[in-house]
Structure 1
Amino acid sequence: MSDRHFELPAHPNLEYYRKQAKHLRHAYTAGDAAAAARVADALSDRAAERFLLSDAQFVLAQEHGFRTWAEFRAHVESRSTTEDRPVSRLMGVRPGIYASMADTLLVELRHDDPGALRRLRAYVPRHATATSAATAGLRDARLIIARELGFPTWQDLVSFTEKSRRDLGERREKRRRLHHEAEALLAGDTDRLAALTAEQADTLLHMLAGPEPIPGVRIGKELGAPRAAVDVLLGKATNLDLPLAWAARFNRVEYVRLLLDAGAEPGIRKWGSTPLENAIYHANTEVVDLLAEHGIVPQALWTYAACGRLDLVRACFDADGSLRPDASPARPDLADTGAGFPSRLPATDDPEEIVGEAFVHACQHGRERVVRWFLDHGVHPDVAPYLGRTGLHWAIPGGRLQVIRLLLERGADPSIRDDLLQANADGWLHIAFAARPHDPVTHQLHDLIGSR
């Protein structure tokens, strides 16, 4: 079977694909070799008996990874009215990396690996009920990789990857040219900064949002530059939203505070995530608290739990304890961080999964009252809604002693290993505190976990 998948535009038109199906049927009937190859891919020998318009529509659906024309039509109609995809996870990665990932996945599919079968069923609709992955081809493996990264087709992924690399090169060049201006910023040279253009000010503010604005200069939670110098740039800037998203990711607490006060919009989704989602994913609890003061975006059970808002968590449930339908308009996915995490399987509507997501992020941020409330309402302490990470795994890197103690008291199993790192609680402790072996928290965690 050939590697044939066609790219969908940002706003596809269903009538266009209806015409494409008619054209395919006419071309096949006329003996066109390319049309015959396409039909053979999807229908094998069945087309020799008959080839109706419905069959041509089926071929188009298959070529886009869908089981039926009805499913393909529903997907096109849903995309025709939505905005452009807000996913930007690629960060300049070469297309060859994704090709290698697809080749590796193909081997797993051919060996009928259970994990590969789950991915095949989740991302390729025509295989949604498959009991074996052994018959899947390269086009299926590539489609899985593309859709895990938020793209409808392999061609779309490759095209966007190439654009991402060009954009990354342009950003690096801008930063290289502004090296001396970055030094002036850190030194507080307001006169030099006053001569910059608005575009240069935007770039410098973005640079300041990272942990190392210039090579060899590390900054942390503090602002990292004289306030007067930053104010000069803020007065020239045209876009504070990207620096805010970046600062939230790197735990630049005082810079986040300053950007919010200067009017940065905390609800804007950049690079796949809102600033709050970025801060939650990276366990930057101080930043989470700052952003939550300006509004919780997105408004969902898991973000409420991560922010420690027990009142909002409770409001997500009806009086009988059932989850309200509006509790999960957005779902967590670590792949949105651009930090190399694989995408989860598509989220389901299972209330237990939705509650589990909220529970583990409450553990991650040390929200003891929220964690206790969930446990009191029947949540299992070892629930692992995605990536196989339990609340214990999520709580250890941040040293959330009270939550960890509570989880262990309620029966959490420290021997469970996650799917990604294959690490149990002790393994997560070694990973998280490898650079801080003498930290008092490390010893307390060892005592807590080792005693189980």
Structure 2
Amino acid sequence: MSDRHFELPAHPDLDYYRKQAKDLHRAYAAGDAAAEARVGEVLGGRGTKRFQLTDAQFVLAQEHGFESWAKFRAHIECRNTTEDRPVSRLAGIRATSYASMADALLVELRRNDPGALQRLRAYVPRHASTASATTAEVRDARLVIARELGFPAWRELVSFTEKSMRDLDERQEKWRRLHREAEALLAGDTNRLAGLTTEQANILLHMLAGPETIPGVRLDEELGVPRAAVDLLLSKATDLDLPLIWAARSNRVEYVRLLLAAGVDPGNRSWGATALENAIYFGHTGVVDVLAEHGIIPRALWTYAACGRLDLVQACFDADGRPQPDAALARPNPADAGIGLLSRPPATDDPQEIVAEAFVHACQHGRVEIVRWFLSHGVHPDVAPYYGRTGLHWAIPPGHLEVIRLLLDRGADPSLRDDLFQSDADGWLHIFFAARPHDPLTLQLHELIENRSR
């Protein structure tokens, strides 16, 4: 299953964008409303006086964040076109939600917020060297959001959100039609399940991978249905890759274990990231542990750290304490897996950034010994490779008390605010523990953070 944007070719080249400019030129000349809106956003009233093909090329370049068609063309021509262009998997989120995210970012840009400026520089080429974010426009903020979600331009993000809504409706309709079969699965009725088609078995296994995709049923870490019924579906199914990815994202620990035993390939990246990468990003340590027992895929410093393998982490450094060349391999953009909350600047070869990523994922998954090892080897406790999210931020949602205490003991600053929620450590505690304010763990965390904030 491809994870590219449904309208983009696998490797967009200069001819592709030249054709796009010609199409825009013709549509504008024909009075197409959408084309007029695109041109007006970039050229204002100038487009009504004269609009030639070179103007259409300029509009296209601006939509992709470049100052001119010449610079956009140079970017396309020097790009490695042998690389595929995966994009975020969107799950029925409306374009208005992304527009709101862009509006919020624009507010921060107008305030010249350092984090917002970093995002602008990272994703809008014509602002790559700008010293102030206050001149940014709404289309710049929208381009940042689109790029962080894996799309080359805002228009393509909007187009894909519409398709994702249709896909979600179709998928839910398929699930509704299989409500009797889902009941048979829950009851372990193998006689009724024996008559299912391959497609129906594939759909039911996908439904089983989510925590609440079977109507009226909440599934957690346990399998939650009779094993014999699942075994029968596995014998009929042809697609186990999608259930594994969704089970990893949904913390379906025992289902992941069962799918691995059935022979699914844990290295498949049909949805932009492996099952292990998905489990790490979503913070499901139980799934991480199961997948790591089967094999750490991909092999890299950040995955070793998240899996708690101190021996492998140490082996990623040379005698002088520098990361080995292969330590930085396999660092996908979280947006490729559809994880918008984990947006980040494009990855670089900076050794400090590579180590910082591994450090915060060790914090996220409660790997105390690895966190301690990194700190003892000079890593600052407040490193934040993902837009202001420090190790402290990462350790709070899962409630890793020992890691949080260690970070605070080593000088972590609980007053630092992330760029996503604009919240400090106590703010994150209120966000992620809002449903259980009187839980003993919540009270412990609050007391610990409050004492260090004074």
* TM-score, normalization by structure 1: 0.83
C-alpha displacement of 1:443: 4.7
Q: Which position in structure 2 is the counterpart of 1:328? A: 328
Could you say what secondary structure the match of 2:79 adopts? helix
* Map of 2:86 onto structure 1: 85
8 Å CA contact 1:332–1:357 kept in 2: the answer is: no
CA deviation after TM superposition for structure 1 residue 384, in Å: 2.0
Q: Aligned pair in 2 of structure 1 residues 235, 312: CA closer, same or farther (>3 Å)?
A: same
SS in 1 for 2:254: helix
Structure 1 residues 122 and 56 mapped into 2: Cα distance closer, same or farther (>3 Å)?
same
Instruction: Give the 3-state SS of the residue equivalent to 1:341 in structure 2.
Output: helix
Find the counterpart in structure 1 of residue 266 from structure 2: 266
Cα distance change of structure 1 residues 156 and 431 upon mapping to structure 2, 3 Å threshold: closer
Query: Letter of the aligned partner of 1:245 in structure 2?
Result: I
In the alignment, the residues of structure 1 paired with residue 437 and residue 106 of structure 2 have an alpha-carbon distance, to the nearest angstrom, of 41
Q: Relative to structure 1, is the Cα distance of residues 443 and 111 closer, same or farther in structure 2, using a 3 angstrom cutoff? A: closer
Q: What residue identity is the alignment partner of 2:247?
A: A
CA distance in 2, matches of 1:62, 1:437: 48
Report the counterpart of residue 187 of structure 1 in structure 2.
187
Look up the equivalent residue of 1:344 and give its one-letter code.
Answer: R
Structure 1 residue 433: deviation in Å?
Answer: 3.6
CA distance in 2, matches of 1:389, 1:238: 40
Match of 2:277 in 1: 277
CA contact (8 A) 1:10 1:79 kept: no
CA distance, structure 2, for counterparts of residue 371 and residue 202 of structure 1: 40
C-alpha spacing 1:359/1:263, structure 2 compared with 1 (3 Å): same
- Aligned equivalent of 2:29: none
> How far apart are 1:181 and its partner, in Å?
1.0
Structure 1 position 295, deviation (Å): 2.3
CA contact (8 A) 2:283 2:364 kept: yes
1:111-190 alignment, distance < 5 Å: 112=112, 114-190=114-190
Is the contact between residue 181 and residue 193 of structure 1 (CA under 8 Å) also seen in structure 2? yes
* 1:228 lines up with 2:246 in the alignment: no
Contact 1:12 1:79 (C-alpha < 8 Å) held by counterparts: no
Deviations 1:124-171 (A, max 9, x none): 112211223444444433322221211112232222222211211110
Q: Secondary structure at the match of 1:373?
A: helix
Q: What are the Cα deviations for residues 105-136 of structure 1, in whole angstroms up to 9, with x where unaligned?
A: 45655565554433322211122112234444
**Corresponding residue pairs, total:** 430
On the 8 A contact 2:13/2:76 being kept in 1, the answer is no
- Deviation of 1:276 (Å): 1.0
Question: By how many angstroms is 1:103 displaced?
Answer: 4.8
Match of 1:3 in 2: none
Q: Residues 17-36 of structure 1, C-alpha deviation per residue, up to 9 Å, x if partnerless?
A: 67999999xxxxxxxxx9xx
The equivalent of 1:250 in structure 2 is 250
Per-residue Cα deviation, 1:324-373 (whole angstroms, up to 9, x for no partner): 23222233655456465162233333222221111111111111221111
Distance 1:114 1:361, change over 3 A: closer
Deviates more, 1:362-371 or 1:168-177: 362-371
Q: Deviations over 1:234-289 (max 9, x none)?
A: 01111111111111111111110000000112112244332112211222112101
How many angstroms apart in 2 are the aligned matches of 1:70 and 1:8? 21
User: Secondary structure of 2:147's partner?
Assistant: helix
Alpha-carbon contact 1:362-1:370 (below 8 Å) kept:
yes
- Does residue 350 of structure 2 align to residue 356 of structure 1? no
- Aligned partners of 1:146 and 1:424: how far apart in 2? 26
Query: CA 1:409 to 1:94, structure 2 compared with 1: closer, same or farther past 3 Å?
Result: closer
2:212 is aligned with what amino acid?
A: E
For 1:434 and 1:381, the matched residues in 2 are separated by 26
How big is the shift at 1:224? 0.5
Cα distance change on mapping 1:169 and 1:353 into 2, 3 Å: same
TM-score (norm 2): 0.82
Letter matched to residue 326 of structure 1? D
The answer for the alignment partner of 1:73 in structure 2 is 74
In the TM superposition, what is the alpha-carbon distance from 1:219 to its structure 2 partner? 2.0
Q: What secondary structure sits across from 2:245 in the alignment? A: helix
Match of 1:344 in 2: 344
- Secondary structure of 1:257's partner? helix
Give how far 1:449 is off: 3.6
Deviation of 1:395 (Å): 1.8
Q: Indicate how the Cα distance of structure 1 residues 59 and 245 shifts in structure 2: closer, same or farther if over 3 A, else same.
A: closer
Shift of 1:398: 2.3
In structure 2, relative to structure 1, the CA distance for the partners of 1:339 and 1:176 (3 Å cut) is farther
Distance 1:364 1:63 in 2: 36
Instruction: Using the TM superposition, give the Cα deviation of residue 215 of structure 1 relative to its aligned residue in structure 2, in angstroms.
Output: 2.9
Name the CA distance, whole Å, in 2 between partners of 1:197 and 1:257: 24
Q: Secondary structure at the match of 1:118?
A: helix
Give ranges in structure 2 of 5+ residues lacking alignment. Answer: 1-6, 25-34, 47-51
Please identify, of 250-259 and 362-371, the stretch whose mean Cα deviation from structure 2 is larger: 362-371
With over 3 angstroms needed to count, the CA separation of the structure-2 counterparts of 1:99 and 1:367, relative to structure 1, is closer
SS at match of 1:222: coil
**Greater shift after overlay, 433-442 or 360-369?**
433-442
Change (3 A) 1:211 1:376: same
1:308 touches 1:367 (CA, 8 Å); kept in 2? yes
Once residues 307 and 100 of structure 1 are traced to their aligned partners in structure 2, the CA distance between those partners, rounded to angstroms, is 36
Aligned-residue identity in percent: 72
In the alignment, the residues of structure 2 paired with residue 23 and residue 398 of structure 1 have an alpha-carbon distance, to the nearest angstrom, of 50
Q: Secondary structure at the match of 2:417?
A: coil
Q: Identify the residue that residue 28 of structure 1 maps to in structure 2.
A: none
> Cα distance 1:117–1:443, how it changes in 2: closer, same or farther (>3 A)?
closer
Cα distance, 1:388 vs structure 2:
1.9
Residue number in structure 2 paired with 1:397? 397
1:361–1:394 contact (8 Å) kept in structure 2: yes
Does the C-alpha gap of structure 1 residues 197 and 421 become closer, same or farther in structure 2, counting only changes over 3 Å?
A: same
Structure exhibiting the larger radius of gyration computed from Cα positions: 1
Q: What amino acid is aligned across from residue 189 of structure 2 in structure 1? A: D
Aligned partners of 1:432 and 1:108: how far apart in 2? 23
Which 10-residue stretch deviates more, 221-230 or 210-219? 210-219
Tell me how far apart the structure 1 counterparts of residues 436 and 141 of structure 2 sit (CA, whole Å).
41
Counterpart of 1:10 in structure 2 is 10
Equivalent in the alignment of 2:424: 424
